[in-house]
Amino acid sequence: MKETLTLPVEGMTCASCVVRVEKSLKKIDGVETANVNLATEKVTLTFDGNKTDVQKMGKAVEEAGYKLLIPESKDAAHEATHYGKEAVVEHSGHDSDSTYQQLKKKFIFSAILTLPIMVVSMIGMTEWFMNISPLSMEEVNKFLLIATTLVLVVSGKRFFILSARLLRHGAVDMNTLVAVGTGTAYVYSLFVVLFPHWLSLEHGATHVYFDTTATIITLILMGRLLEAKAKNRTKDAIKKLVGLQPKTANVIRGGTEEDIPIADVVHDDIVVVRPGERVAVDGTVLKGFTSIDESMITGESIPVDKTVGSRVIGGTMNKTGSLEFKATAVGSETMIAHIIKLVEEAQGSKAPIQALADKIASVFVPTVISLAFITFLVWLAIGDAGFVGAMINFIAVLIIACPCALGLATPTAIMVGTGLGATKGILIKNAESLERAHRIQTIVLDKTGTITEGKPKVTSVTLFNSVAETTLLEEVAALENKSEHPLAQAIVEYSRSKNVRLLNVESFQSYPGLGASGVVEGNAIVIGNHAMMKEYAVNTAQADSVVQKYSELGQTPVYIARNGEIAAVVAMADVLKPSSKHAIAELKRMNIKVIMLSGDSVRTSGAIAREAGIDDYIAEVLPHEKAAHVKNLQKEGTIVAMVGDGINDAPALAQADVGIAMGTGTDVAIETSDITLMKGDITSVLHAIKLSKLTIRTIKQNLFWAFIYNMIGIPIAALGLLNPIVAAAAMAFSSVSVVSNSLRIRSRKL
């Protein structure tokens, strides 16, 4: 039984921690995948529930030196995963806000003590200070010892505890680097204060480095604090989505309206939503008319009109009228729950570009420790700085080489990118899909419902025999209103846009495949194709050339006869969506080849392709043949994206390198595709590709700076050109800069 869970992991601080946790979990029989996200401090697990369980996985993580925070029950874990809520957090006590507050308190305490430690250390050796100070040098050093010890015990102990825990399991990480670096400076200074004659006799040195120890810890805590604050901002999209879910719902039970917790709403409940309230759950409108703001779901800012039979989505904002609707999806079945789940899974997934960073991280810390010891030994053996100088350079190498930035480079960008996509109605299944999208070379577009509206519309009306258009439309609309045929409904919709009256129909007869006839206000009306006109002996000679012209344009002509004479020809077509032409032009400008697939005739398909600005199209394609066409394109060595409705295009979506489902936002669309576009027009395809390019560019920038930072910093420190305090500040800045660079994605226009 395959299961997927997302659980918090405690104790991770850098990229090497991520690799170690993943390795420990992947060794367990039954675990298929384990993706650890350093930015969220969570692991997403896919495993066979018949072969293993969370307790075994928790034990494996603990043996690696970390802690997997397991909820009280499996149901609670699944609830957290499905809802995208912090249910796991609630059960485990792991809360990012409380962690941030604890970190803040420790930083403030450390900073308050570090400031006088630094001041005293800088002026304590001066003659001026010794003349005015009532304290001797030994007493000043003891003050520094006590103050630094408090910094270590209260604020810095976390580095030593985590480092010791890992060492018991034969592992090292960033905490090891900090603990060894600051511990070395502290222990050396401790001996100088308590046993000065030992070191003076051997080395002739009495200077202490308590300021180095305290300042490094304070600067690293400051970096962690800024990093934590920035990381919390990367979760804003999820927080907004979770915040959309109302806490209560107004339902009608037993004829009485009552306010109940959202968790108590069940299928088929009649739910009431008033102006200014959020829709409680997904449902179908039974009564009322209103406009609803669905922008947080679809990215579309214009409110959508809702009337009887319309679908409403939980979490959206009702603007004007009141509604009563029947609940069709509750709890984890709702659209908002599906979206939250999808976004969290995407944020927890790992992009292929991360592989290089993971390989480096797996050997990074041991390598750095080795380099630090080599630096110490070389300076001790051939340098003129003696033991103290060698020790300072040893500490500088350890501190400058923290791999935090390396671990945050990819996940923070993925989190912000997928989060931004969700707010724009672009749902990305995983980081791999996001990365592949930036390499798309060819886009295959399904015609109906993707490029076009997906339903016929009247494009023009040609009148004959001096019949007034308003009069004719009143009679024709009244007759066609009796039919459910799409062409009939298109005529009715067009007539309504002209504000015509719907007259009384005296008789009505439908002829499948031909048309319809009837009597309206005493006038005999016949509507249909040429065969229908022939059946009623209507002479169409004067209209045949017009019909041919419309047919050549790929439009569907319909004859209208009134009292035995041809009265008009109405042309209908599945028209382009307003944004299609511009979006296709933009895709071509990005050097992406655009191909249209259609089941329509060559004539109709060609007309649509020309109007949309598409050079390549394939007509008369059956649904099951679409996947084969995509496969043929892939054989040519091109990266192919397929854009369809996510249901009848499922095989082609699955075959494509990137499957993009448009418009419906249904469960089928979400599950089938790599990317689901809630808004449903090609502009969203353009935005999805731009978002992918922006995110991948940001990841590459982050990785570049993370690598360059260490490649430059470590040699400088080894050469003795970098003070450990400066190294600590630079290390803190590197992590914060990576997260801040990722956050820039949020402000970019797609």
Would you name the residues annotated as active-site residues?
446
Give 96-102's long-range contacts (Cβ < 8 A, gap of 24+).
96/228, 96/231, 96/232, 96/235, 97/232, 99/228, 100/225, 100/228, 100/229, 100/232
Q: SS3 of 22, please?
A: helix
Does an H or E element contain 560, and which? strand 556-562
DSSP annotation of 452: B
Q: Do the beta carbons of residue 722 and residue 716 sit within 8 Å?
A: yes
∠ CA(297), CA(301), CA(305), 5° rounding?
85
Can you list the positions of beta strands (E) in 239-316? 248-253, 256-261, 270-273, 282-288, 290-293, 304-306, 311-312
E strand or H helix at 328, and its extent? strand 323-329
No. of helices (H) and no. of strands (E), the chain: 29, 26
Tokens standing for residue 25: 């979990």
> From CA 535, how far away is CA 723, in angstroms rounded?
98
Q: Strand order in 290-293's β-sheet?
A: 304-306, 290-293, 317-318
**CA of residue 96 relative to chain centroid, distance:** 19
Task: Measure the CA–CA gap between 612 and 391, rounded to whole angstroms.
Answer: 70
Give the 3-state secondary structure of 119-150: HHHHHCCCHHHHHHCCCCHHHHHHHHHHHHHH
- Residues 153-181 as b or e (16 or more Cβ within 10 Å = b): eebbebbbebbebbeeeebbbbbbbbbbb
Measured CA to CA, the distance from residue 596 to residue 629 in angstroms comes to: 11
Residues 6 or more apart in contact with residue 131 via CB below 8 angstroms? none
Strands across the sheet containing 2-10: 31-37, 42-48, 2-10, 67-68
Task: Give yes or no for a contact between 444 and 633, defined as CB atoms under 8 angstroms apart.
Answer: yes
Q: Which of 663, 739, 646 is nearest to 698 (CA)?
A: 739
On the CB side of 531, CA atoms within 13 Å amount to 5
Contacts of 179 (CB under 8 A, 6+ apart): 159, 160, 163, 164
Q: Using CA atoms, how far apart are residues 717 and 372, in angstroms rounded to an integer?
A: 9
d(CA 714, CA 703): 17
What count of Cα atoms within 13 Å lies in the side-chain half-sphere of residue 687?
A: 28
| 312 neighbors 292 (Cβ within 8 angstroms) | yes
What gap in Å lies between CA 283 and CA 343, rounded to an integer? 22
Q: Quick one: which H or E segment has residue 389? A: helix 386-400
- DSSP tag of 536: T
